Structure formats: C-alpha cells, structure tokens
Amino acid sequence: MSETIAKKTVAVCDTQPVTAEGLRMLIDASPDLEFTEAVGALEAGTELARSNSAGVLIVDKGFGMQAVLDWLHDLKLAEHAPATVVWGVSMTEAEALRLLQAGARGILRKSVNPDVLILCLRTVANGGTWMDEEVFRKSMRVDRSARTDLTPREHQVLELVEQGFKNKEIATELGIRPGTVKIHLKHIFEKTGVRGRYGLALTGLKEKGVVSISSQTAIAS
C-alpha cells in the first residue's frame, strides 16, 4: 500500500488574474504541490496569510517595491505567516537584497523557467531560501578567487556589507574613515571578481548556504 504524500500548499497574490491562473495550472500539475487561492491585492494577501491556508505565498513585485517591502515587514507580525516568494518582470540586485532582508524567502523573475519556479517553491516550502541566478548574474561573470585572499580587515568590511551596512555605518562600526572603507571595497572587488556591493552581499549569502541560487541549465528535465 503506497503512502500518501502530504502536498505543500501554495497561494498567489498577483496583479494579473491571467498570470495567477497560469500559476495554478503549473502548481497543480506538480505531484507534491497544491494551489489553494489567488488574490489581487496586498490587503487580501495579508488576510490570506493570516488565515494560515497556505505554506507558501507568491507575491507580485508589480504592486510596488516599497509597498511589498512594507507588506513583508508587517507580515513578520502575523502568527504562522507563510513563506513568501516575490517575483517580478524585472528584479535588480539591490531590490533582491532588500526583499531578502525584509523577510522574503524566494526571489524570482517572471520569465523564469517553469522547472526553476517549481524547484524554488519546493525549496521554500521545505524551509530553504532561493534566488534566481539571473538576478545577479552580471556581478558574477568574473572568476572569483578564494576569499582566503582577503585581509582580516577586508573580511570585516565584507561581513558588514553582507549584513546591509552602508559605508558610513561600516566606518563607524570599525572605527575607520569612510574613505578607507571605499579603498577596502575596491580591493575586495578586485580580489573576488564580484561587481558591486549588492553582488558581494548576495554572493556571501550564497556561499554561506543561506540562499540557494538557481541555475536554469542545471535543472534536470
């Protein structure tokens, strides 16, 4: 007698009903996922989250970046809040980092491969964090040397960048000048091959295993 697999439940809060319907069909076709509900406003998404009717909630960045950030912060106050995946037509490194820091568990573009979307939902539903590789692919094009090449001070600066600290805040924390922070960052960029502080922060999260980064070419058919 075969065991019944407990499906992970997924709901959608999206600006476009047609998109939500496409997600429903895709999710229901997966043997381990179950679509529960679709709503068209963040306020309705809040009520959906409070109802505890879904384990994962997909939210459209199209509602507005600041609106979604505020919504994520408010969601932290809800008891048994669902894990949130934010997706959008476009997504910058800065936006991805801010969303992760606000509490999002998954970051995707709407042009993502369906197999990647399903893998993201499974990862998030099982307690992981996921981000679409294409969001910060440009910052990763240069081969990175091992982080052991960094000096102890550069490691300190990097750790604070990964935590979202700005240059002035890093300077205050370490007791150095903001100009010195810029010099350290320049050396870090050169040694790691990562372009930009957001790329550094996101790469750090990946290397620490905090965030799983998708690679569409690695998704098995």
More confident residue, 53 or 135: 53
Distance CA 111, CA 135 (A): 11
- pLDDT at residue 215 greater than cutoff 80: no
Its pTM surpasses 0.75: no
For residues 59-83, give the mean pLDDT. Answer: 91
The answer to whether residue 221 scores a pLDDT higher than 60 is no
CATH architecture assigned to 145-192: Orthogonal Bundle (1.10)
Number of Cβ atoms within 10 Å of the Cβ of 11 = 26
Domains 8-138+211-218 and 145-192 share a fold: no
pLDDT band at 144 (very low <50, low <70, confident <90, very high): very low
Q: What is the pLDDT of residue 147?
A: 62
Q: What is the mean pLDDT of residues 167-181?
A: 94
Residue with tokens 């994962």: 56
Domain ranges of the chain: 8-138+211-218, 145-192
Q: What percent of the chain has pLDDT over 70?
A: 84
Instruction: With CA atoms as reference, report the closest residue to 91 among 43, 119, 123, 59.
Output: 59
Specify the pLDDT at position 208. 63
Task: Say which range, 73-77, 133-137, 187-191, 215-219, has the weakest mean pLDDT.
Answer: 215-219
What is the CATH architecture assignment of 8-138+211-218?
3-Layer(aba) Sandwich (3.40)
